[in-house]
C-alpha cells in the first residue's frame, strides 16, 4: 500500500502578486503625452518659422559686418580724431534733410561715427538715417537706414521684423507670441516624458524605425530644453499681451527700468528723446556736442556712447552708454546744454533686480550679450528646434503610417490623475493662462474640443480610454 505524503505548505501554489499601483506622478504621463503630441503637431509650424528666422537673425550680426564694411570701418586709422561737432557738420552738409536725433561717436580706432537723422523723406518714421563719417577726415562713407537701440542696419532690420511679425505689423506679432507661449510647454512636456521613460540611459545605436527616431528626438530635446525655456521666457517679455502683463507686474513691484532725468535744471522727467528732436537738435549753441561729451567722460562714461540732443530749450542733453556685450555699459547722464554741468547721473548698478535681469535676458536672447559665442549658441538652439520638429513629424508618420491621425494617446487620461495633484496643477495652469493669454486661450479651446469630440465618440459608441477600454452605450 502506497501512502502519499501530504503536500508541503512551501510547495503549495501561491496566488499571483498584484501589479504595483501606479504612482502619483506616473498618472501624469498619459495626459502630458497627449498634450505634447497635439501641441507639437499644431504649434510646430509656428515654432519652425520662429526657429528658422531666429537662426538667420543670430547670423545677421556677422553678416552685417561683412556687408556694410564700407560704412562701418575707415580705410586708414589716423593719429587724432576730429571733434564730434565737425563730424556732425560734415554729415549735415551731405544730408541736410531731417533733424539730428542722436550721435554715436566712433567707439573704436577703425570705426566710423554714426550721425542719426530722423524725419528724413523715404525713411520709415520708426527708423533713422545713419550717416557714417570717418572720424579722422570727416569724409562721409555712406548712409543707411537704422533701427532700434542695437543699431540694426537694413539686413538685420529686415530679418528682425520677419522674425518678430512676418512683416505684417502688429497683427503679425501674434504668431511670435503664440510660438513663445507654447515653446516652454512643449519643451517641458517633452522633458517630463523623457525622464519618466529613463531615456537618458538608452542608446539609439542598433535600433531602427520609430524607436530610433524617438530616441534621437528625446535626447536632442532633453539637452536643448533649458535653452528653449529661456528663449520662451525672454521672448515673452516684449510680446504684445504677455509682455504687457509682465510690464504691469514690474510696475506693481517697483521694478521698472529707470531713466535719467532730462530736465536741464535736474528736476522732473522727460521721455521725449526718441526719434523727434527740437530746435536745438543740431547743437549750435551752448557748450555743444564736444563739451557735452567731455562732461560725460568726467562721469566715467566710456565708449560706446550715444549723445541725444535736447528736444527743447528747457531740456538737457542725454549721454548714454550703448554697449550690450558683456560687461554691459548702460550708465547715462544728463548735461545742461548752456553750462556743460552734469545735472543727473544714472548707473546701471542702481537698476532694480528685475530691470537688470530683463536687460540681460533680452540681450542674451538677441545674441548681443556674449557676442559671437552667444550667436553660435542661438544658432545651435534654432537648428536643434528645427531638427526636433522634423523628427516629431516623422514619428507621427511612423506611428500612424498616415492613418488614424498618428494614433494619439486615448482620451480619459486626466480622469486618472489624483485630485490632490490635479487641482493645484489646474490652478497653476489657470494663472499662467491669464498672464500668457496666447497659451491660456488655445489650451482652453483644446480641452473644450477634446471633450466635445469625446462626447461625440461616446454617442457613437467608440470612445476609447487611456487603459484601452472602449465605452459602449
The residue range of the domain holding 51 is: 26-58+167-248+371-471
Query: Cα(378)–Cα(447) distance, rounded to whole angstroms?
Result: 33
Same domain, 384 and 461: yes
Which residues are bridge partners to 118 per DSSP? 99
Retrieve residue 131's grid coordinates.
550717416
Taking CA atoms, 326 is separated from 176, 234, 364, in Å, by: 27, 18, 10
Q: What per-residue confidence (pLDDT) applies to 80?
A: 95
Reported in sequence order, the residue ranges of 322-443 that DSSP labels E, i.e. its strands, are: 332-335, 342-346
> Per the structure, how many domains does the chain have?
2
3-state SS class at 369: coil
Helices (H) and strands (E) in the chain, counts: 12, 10
Residue 335 CB contacts under 8 Å (≥ 6 apart), including other chains: 287, 292, 295, 296, 316, 317, 318, 319, 341, 342, 343
Residue with cell 548707473: 347
Query: So what's the pLDDT on residue 13?
Result: 56
203 with 274, same domain: the answer is: no
**Per the domain annotation, does 360 fall within a domain?**
no
Dist CA 274 CA 311 (whole Å) = 9
pLDDT value at position 192? 86
Q: Are residues 434 and 342 in the same domain?
A: no
Clarify whether residues 232 and 268 are in a common domain.
no
Q: How many residues does the chain have?
A: 473
- Contact indicator for 355, 258 with CB cutoff of 8 Å: yes
Same domain, 297 and 376: no
Domain boundary (350, 382, 411) is at 350
Residue where a domain terminates, one of 350, 382, 417 = 350
- Whether residue 99 lies inside any domain: the answer is yes
Q: Do 153 and 144 meet the contact criterion of CB atoms below 8 Å apart?
A: yes
Instruction: Reduce the secondary structure of 195-255 to three states and give it as a string.
Output: HHCCHHHCCCCCCCHHHHHHHHHHHHHHHHHHHHHHHHHHHHCCCCHHHHHHHHHHHHCCC
Which secondary structure element, helix H or strand E, spans residue 425, and what is its range?
helix 419-435
267 burial via Cβ count (<10 Å: 0-12, 13-18, 19+): exposed
User: Is the domain of 306 the same as that of 454?
Assistant: no
Task: Output the pLDDT for position 266.
Answer: 44
Establish whether the linkage from the previous residue to 467 is cis, with ω within 30° of 0: no
Phi-psi category of residue 288: left, alpha or beta, with phi > 0 → left and psi -120 to 50 → alpha: left
Judgement on whether residues 238 and 265 belong to the same structural domain of the protein: no
Pairing of strands 463-464, 470-471: antiparallel
- Residue 346: how many other CB atoms lie within 10 Å: 18
Residues 368/150, Cβ–Cβ less than 8 Å: yes
Question: Is the same domain home to 269 and 299?
Answer: yes
- Sheet with 317-321, strands from edge to edge, namely 140-146, 128-133, 113-118, 99-104, 305-308, 317-321, 332-335, 342-346
How close are the terminal C-alpha atoms of the chain, in Å?
Answer: 63
148 lies in the same domain as 266? yes
Domain shared by 433 and 458, yes or no? yes
Cβ proximity of 423 and 245 under 8 Å? no
Per-residue pLDDT of the chain (473 residues; tens, 9 = 90+): 455 555 544 555 555 555 444 555 667 778 888 888 888 889 999 999 999 999 999 999 999 999 999 999 999 999 999 999 999 999 999 999 999 999 999 999 999 999 999 999 999 999 999 999 999 999 999 999 999 999 999 999 999 999 999 999 999 999 999 999 999 999 999 998 888 765 445 555 556 677 888 889 999 999 999 999 999 999 999 899 999 999 999 999 999 999 999 886 544 433 333 333 443 445 556 899 999 999 999 999 999 999 999 988 889 999 999 999 999 999 999 999 999 999 999 999 999 999 999 999 999 999 999 999 999 999 999 999 999 999 999 888 877 654 444 556 666 666 677 788 778 888 888 888 889 999 999 988 887 877 777 677 767 765 555 555 554 44
Residues 75 and 84: their CA atoms lie apart, in Å, by 19
Q: Is 143 exposed, middle or buried (0-12, 13-18, 19+ CB in 10 A)?
A: buried
Residue 143 included in any domain: yes
Per the CB < 8 A criterion, the answer to whether 357 and 255 are in contact is: no
| Same-domain pairing of 390 and 462 | yes
Cα distance between residue 104 and residue 155, in whole Å: 20
Domain assignment of residue 3, yes or no: no
Q: Is residue 211 part of a domain?
A: yes
Q: Is residue 64 part of a domain?
A: no
The reply to whether 4 falls in a domain is no
Residue 12 within a domain: no
Do 273 and 133 belong to one domain? yes
SS3 string of 45-107?
HHHHHHHHHHHHHHHHHHHHHHHCHHHHECCCCCCCCCCHHHHHHHHHHHCCCCEEEEEECCC
What per-residue confidence (pLDDT) applies to 215? 87
CA 335 distance to own-chain centroid: 34
Instruction: Give the DSSP letter of residue 1.
Output: -
Amino acid at each position: 500500500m502506497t501512502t502519499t505524503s501530504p503536500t508541503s505548505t512551501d510547495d503549495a501554489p501561491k496566488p499571483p502578486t498584484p501589479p504595483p499601483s501606479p504612482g502619483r506622478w506616473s498618472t501624469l504621463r498619459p495626459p502630458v503625452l497627449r498634450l505634447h503630441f497635439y501641441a507639437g503637431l499644431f504649434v510646430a509650424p509656428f515654432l519652425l518659422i520662429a526657429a528658422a528666422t531666429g537662426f538667420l537673425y543670430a547670423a545677421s550680426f556677422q553678416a552685417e559686418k561683412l556687408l556694410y564694411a564700407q560704412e562701418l570701418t575707415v580705410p586708414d586709422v589716423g593719429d587724432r580724431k576730429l571733434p564730434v561737432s565737425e563730424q556732425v557738420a560734415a554729415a549735415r552738409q551731405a544730408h541736410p534733410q531731417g533733424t539730428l536725433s542722436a550721435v554715436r561717436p566712433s567707439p573704436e580706432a577703425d570705426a566710423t561715427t554714426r550721425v542719426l537723422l530722423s524725419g528724413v523723406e523715404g525713411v520709415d518714421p520708426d527708423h533713422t538715417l545713419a550717416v557714417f563719417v570717418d572720424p579722422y577726415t570727416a569724409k562721409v562713407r555712406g548712409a543707411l537706414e537704422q533701427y532700434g537701440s542695437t543699431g540694426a542696419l537694413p539686413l538685420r532690420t529686415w530679418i528682425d521684423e520677419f522674425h518678430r511679425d512676418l512683416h505684417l505689423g502688429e497683427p503679425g506679432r501674434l504668431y511670435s507670441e503664440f510660438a513663445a507661449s507654447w515653446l516652454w510647454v512643449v519643451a517641458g512636456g517633452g522633458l517630463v516624458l523623457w525622464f519618466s521613460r529613463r531615456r537618458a540611459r538608452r542608446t539609439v545605436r542598433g535600433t531602427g524605425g520609430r524607436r530610433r527616431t524617438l530616441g534621437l528626438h528625446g535626447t536632442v530635446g532633453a539637452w536643448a530644453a533649458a535653452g528653449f525655456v529661456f528663449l520662451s521666457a525672454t521672448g515673452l517679455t516684449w510680446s504684445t499681451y504677455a509682455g504687457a502683463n509682465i510690464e504691469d507686474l514690474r510696475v506693481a513691484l517697483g521694478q521698472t527700468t529707470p531713466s535719467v532725468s532730462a530736465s536741464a535744471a535736474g528736476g522732473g522727467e522727460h521721455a521725449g528723446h526718441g526719434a523727434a528732436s527740437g530746435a536745438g537738435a543740431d547743437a549750435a549753441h551752448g557748450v555743444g556736442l564736444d563739451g557735452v561729451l567731455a562732461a560725460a567722460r568726467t562721469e566715467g562714461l566710456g565708449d560706446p556712447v550715444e549723445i541725444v540732443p535736447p528736444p527743447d530749450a528747457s531740456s538737457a542733453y542725454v549721454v548714454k552708454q550703448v554697449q550690450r556685450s558683456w560687461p554691459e555699459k548702460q550708465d547715462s547722464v544728463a548735461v545742461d546744454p548752456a553750462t556743460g554741468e552734469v545735472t543727473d547721473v544714472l548707473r546701471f548698478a542702481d537698476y532694480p533686480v528685475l530691470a537688470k535681469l530683463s536687460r540681460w535676458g533680452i540681450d542674451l536672447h538677441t545674441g548681443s550679450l556674449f557676442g559671437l559665442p552667444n550667436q553660435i549658441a542661438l544658432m545651435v538652439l534654432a537648428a536643434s528646434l528645427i531638427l526636433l520638429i522634423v523628427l516629431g513629424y516623422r514619428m507621427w508618420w511612423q506611428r500612424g503610417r498616415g492613418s488614424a491621425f498618428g494614433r494619439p494617446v486615448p482620451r480619459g487620461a486626466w480622469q486618472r490623475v489624483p485630485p490632490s495633484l490635479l487641482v493645484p496643477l489646474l490652478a497653476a495652469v489657470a494663472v499662467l493662462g491669464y498672464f500668457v493669454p496666447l497659451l491660456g486661450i488655445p489650451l482652453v479651446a483644446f480641452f473644450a474640443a477634446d471633450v466635445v469630440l469625446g462626447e461625440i465618440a461616446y454617442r457613437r459608441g467608440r470612445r476609447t480610454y487611456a487603459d484601452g477600454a472602449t465605452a459602449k452605450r
